[in-house]
Structure 1
Amino acid sequence: MNPAPVRLPAGVLTALRPPSEWLDSPWLAVGSGILLLVAAAGAVRALRRRRRRAGWVAGVLLAALLTAATTVNAVVGYVPTVQAARFALTGDLDPGGGTVTSFRLGSVPLGVAPSRTYVYLPPGYAAHPGRRYPVVFLLPGSPGRSTDWFGAGDAARTLDVLIARGLLPPVVVVSPDQDAGGTDTECLDVPGGPRWETYLYSDLVPRVDALYRTVPRAASRVLAGMSAGGFCALDQGLRHRGTWGPVVALEPFGDPGSSFRDALGAEGFAAVSPSSYLPGLTVPAPVPVFLGTGAEAGERPGVDALTAQLRAKGWPVLRRDVPGEGHTWVAAREDLPYGLVLAARYLPR
C-alpha cells in the first residue's frame, strides 16, 4: 500500500530554506582554494628570497586546512549556517517558534556514558501546562553527536515551519547521543560494551516521559534518524512495536555493519538486520514507514531492497530520493520535512 505523496507548497519550501546557506556553498570552497594558491605562490617567493618563510608556510597550512574544511562541508553540508556552527560548538540555539533545551543522562550499570540529550519544545508548550504532545525521537549518524540534528539537520527550523503551517501537530522532539563514549552502538546492546538498546527502553524513553508532557504511548511516538540513526530507526521501530508508531528512516542501512557480524554471530546478526528478518516479521498492525536517501548515495541499492521488502508486507511505505545528493546532511535536511508530514498522518488525533 503506497500512501499519497507528500507535497509541500512553494511557500513552505521557501520558509524551510535557511536565510544564509553560504557556509556550505561550493563558492566558499572555491574562494578558499584561490586563497591557498595565493598563499602557496607567496611562500615560494619567500623561500627563494629567504624572507619571512615561517609566516608564509603557516599561511599555506591555514589556507590548506580552510580549503579542505570548506570543500568537505560543501559536499556533506554538516555546517550549513552560522547558527548551526554555533549550536555545534555551544549547544545554544537562537529562539524561534519553539525552544531547545537539554538534560544529561547515562547508565553506569548498562555501560552508557552520561551525555546530553537535546529536546525541542513546540510553540505554546509553556503556555498550555495541561496539554500533552506526541514525541519524535531524532537519532544522528555515527560518528555523530546529539547536537547534529539541531545543527547540521536544522531540525528546529523545519519543526517551526511545519507546525506553523499546520502540516505537523505540535510535537516534542528528542535527540540523544547513541554513540555516547565514542562507541558505535547502532542502538544495540554491544557485546562487552554499552547496552544502548536496553538503555533506550529502560532509561531514556521513561525519562523523557517523566520530564516532558508527552503522550506516553506507542502510537504517539515517531522514531526517526539518518545514516546509522536511520538504521536504528528502522530496526528499533520494527522490533519494538510496543514503543514506537511511525518510522522515518533517512539514508538507512539494512544491517548494523560488518563489525557486528563477528560480535553477534550469524544468528544474532540476522536478528537485528531488517534486510534479513523482514520477510518473517509479524506485527499487530501495518507500520507506516518513510524511507529517504540521496539519489547518488552508495546505499541506494540497499534502500531499494528495503523498500521492496516493506511494500511486500502491504504496509504504507513512502520513498523519496533527493536528486544529485549522496550520503549527506543535505539529503537528510531535505527529506526530514517530508518524513515528518507523512508520520503526522498516522498520529492519533
Structure 2
Amino acid sequence: MTRAGPFRTTGLMALTGWPFLALLCTFSIALITVTMTMWNRWPTGWAPVLRLGCLLLLMVAGAVVTADVVNREFGFYTSFDDLLGRLPPVTATPCSAGIDRPPAAPAHGRIEHVRLAGSVSGISRDALVYLPAVYASPAAARSRFPVIELFHGYPGGPGAWQRHLDLTAVLDREIAARCMPPVIVVIPTDSDPGHDGECVDALGGRRNETYLAVDVPAQLTARYRVSNAPRSWAAMGYSTGGFCAVNIAFHHPARYAAAAALSGYFTPVTDPSTGDLYRGRRGERQWNSPQWQAAHRHIDVPLYVVAGRADPEAQRAIEHLKAAARGRVPITTGESPAGGHNFTVWSKACPAAFDWLAGHLPVSVPSLAPQPQDLGG
C-alpha cells in the first residue's frame, strides 16, 4: 500500500475528522464507565446477559476506534459515501478504438489458476491467467496475443483483482466494445507472505524482479500463444503494485510498451514490511526509484497514472513524478475518481487504464471480434 501520513477532511462529522474520532472515544469511555459501575449492580437474573452484552460492546467499540485510527493514517476511506460505495461514477469517455463500429455481444473469457516456476530466479509462485474468449476460436488458432501483466498491492494476492475489481467482467466488456484488442492477462504473486519485496531484486535476497520480468514471461510464452513481437507486453498495478509496474517497465523497456499505476508511489520504501532491500547502497536504491530514473534518464515507456481525489499521498506522488520527469517520460494523468486509497477507486479507474494500455499494444487479431461463447464450454 502507499505509505501515507495522517489524512484529514473537513466537516463536523467527517469520517476522518477529529470530531468523529472524539465521539468514538467518548462513547468508548462512557461504555467502560457504565460497565465498571454497573458490573455488580445489575439485577441478579439479568446480570450474566448484561455483563456479556457490555463486554461485546466494548470489543466492538475498541475495534471501531482502531479501524478509524488506521483509516485516518492511510486514507482508505475518506467519507461515509466512500465507505458505503456511494461515490459518483467516473465520466465515461469513448475509447479511441472502434467508436465507429457497433460493439460485439460480450463474450466470456476464462481464468486459469497456474503455478509459474522460475528457472532463473529460483522462485515458484501461483498466478492467475485470463484468456480472452476469442483465444479458443478456430479462426484465431494461429494468432498470438499481447500480454498485460498485473501487480497486486501489499498485503494481497492475485485473487484481489478478481474478487474486488471484477477483472474478467471488465476485460470481457472492454474487448467486446473494441476498446482494447483481445489480450492475455497474467497476475503473478509478486511478494512472499509477510514480506513486501516491492518486486525488486533485493541485495542478498529474493530476486523478485527477475521472477516477474524474466521468468513469468518465459513461462507464459511456453504455455500460451503469447506474441513474440517486441514491446508486446504492458504492466499495471494498484498501490504497491503500481510501483512494481512502473519500476519493472522502466527496467525492461524492450518488453513493456507502457505501464499504468493506480494510486501508486514512485520512490522505494524502507519500513518493517520491506526491511532494507538495498542494504544502504544508494545506487541500488536509485535504480529502483522510478522518480529518480525519470529525473535522470530518457525512458521510452509511456505512463498512465491516476489516484483518488481524496488520496493526498498518491496525488503528491504523481505530481512529484511529473515534476521529476520534465518531458523525459511521457505521462498521462487519468481522471481522478472520488474517494481514497481503496478498491472502489481502483474499480472505477480500471477500464480507462486498460483502454489506454491497449493503445500501446499490437493488435494481434484485428479481423476477429470476440464471439458470444463461453471458453469453458
State the TM-score, normalized to the length of structure 1.
Answer: 0.73
Which residue of 289, 303, 306 corresponds with 2:321?
306
Deviation at residue 264 of structure 1 after TM alignment: 4.6
Indicate the SS of the match to 1:257.
coil
- 1:172 alignment partner in structure 2: 184
- 1:51 alignment partner in structure 2: 48
- 1:256 alignment partner in structure 2: 268
Cα distance in 2 for partners of 1:219, 1:202 equals: 14
Indicate the SS of the match to 2:265.
coil
- 1:186 alignment partner in structure 2: 198
For the structure 1 residues 110 and 97, does the alpha-carbon distance in structure 2 shift closer, same or farther, using more than 3 Å as the test? Answer: same
The residue identity in structure 1 corresponding to 2:132 is P
The residue identity in structure 2 corresponding to 1:274 is P
Contact 1:96–1:157 (CA under 8 A) maintained in structure 2:
no
- 1:121 alignment partner in structure 2: 131
- 1:138 alignment partner in structure 2: 150
1:334 aligns with 2:352: no
For the structure 1 residues 270 and 54, does the alpha-carbon distance in structure 2 shift closer, same or farther, using more than 3 Å as the test? Answer: same
Cα distance in 2 for partners of 1:295, 1:275 equals: 21
For the structure 1 residues 67 and 238, does the alpha-carbon distance in structure 2 shift closer, same or farther, using more than 3 Å as the test? Answer: same
Cα distance in 2 for partners of 1:199, 1:261 equals: 16
Deviations 1:47-81 (A, max 9, x none): 7231335753575478569968998798398998x
- 2:302 alignment partner in structure 1: 288
More helix by share: 1
Deviation at residue 280 of structure 1 after TM alignment: 2.4
Task: Flag the structure with larger Rg.
Answer: 2
Unaligned runs of at least 5 residues, structure 1: 1-25, 27-32, 81-94
For the structure 1 residues 104 and 248, does the alpha-carbon distance in structure 2 shift closer, same or farther, using more than 3 Å as the test? Answer: same
Cα distance in 2 for partners of 1:61, 1:115 equals: 41
Which residue of 254, 258, 275 corresponds with 1:242?
254
1:276 aligns with 2:278: no
Contact 2:121–2:215 (CA under 8 A) maintained in structure 1:
no
Indicate the SS of the match to 1:214.
coil
Cα distance in 1 for partners of 2:125, 2:257 equals: 26
Contact 2:150–2:187 (CA under 8 A) maintained in structure 1:
yes
Indicate the SS of the match to 1:255.
coil
Deviations 1:239-298 (A, max 9, x none): 211221111122121212134476251121111111112232244xx3221111112221
Unaligned runs of at least 5 residues, structure 2: 1-14, 16-23, 86-105, 364-377
Contact 1:191–1:264 (CA under 8 A) maintained in structure 2:
no
Which residue of 79, 87, 110 corresponds with 1:99?
110
1:155 aligns with 2:152: no
Cα distance in 2 for partners of 1:187, 1:199 equals: 9
The residue identity in structure 1 corresponding to 2:108 is G
Cα distance in 2 for partners of 1:58, 1:96 equals: 52
RMSD of aligned Cα (Å): 3.5
Contact 2:150–2:188 (CA under 8 A) maintained in structure 1:
yes
For the structure 1 residues 299 and 348, does the alpha-carbon distance in structure 2 shift closer, same or farther, using more than 3 Å as the test? Answer: same
- 2:210 alignment partner in structure 1: 198
Cα distance in 2 for partners of 1:221, 1:67 equals: 43
Contact 1:295–1:321 (CA under 8 A) maintained in structure 2:
no
Higher mean Cα deviation, 315-324 or 218-227? Answer: 315-324
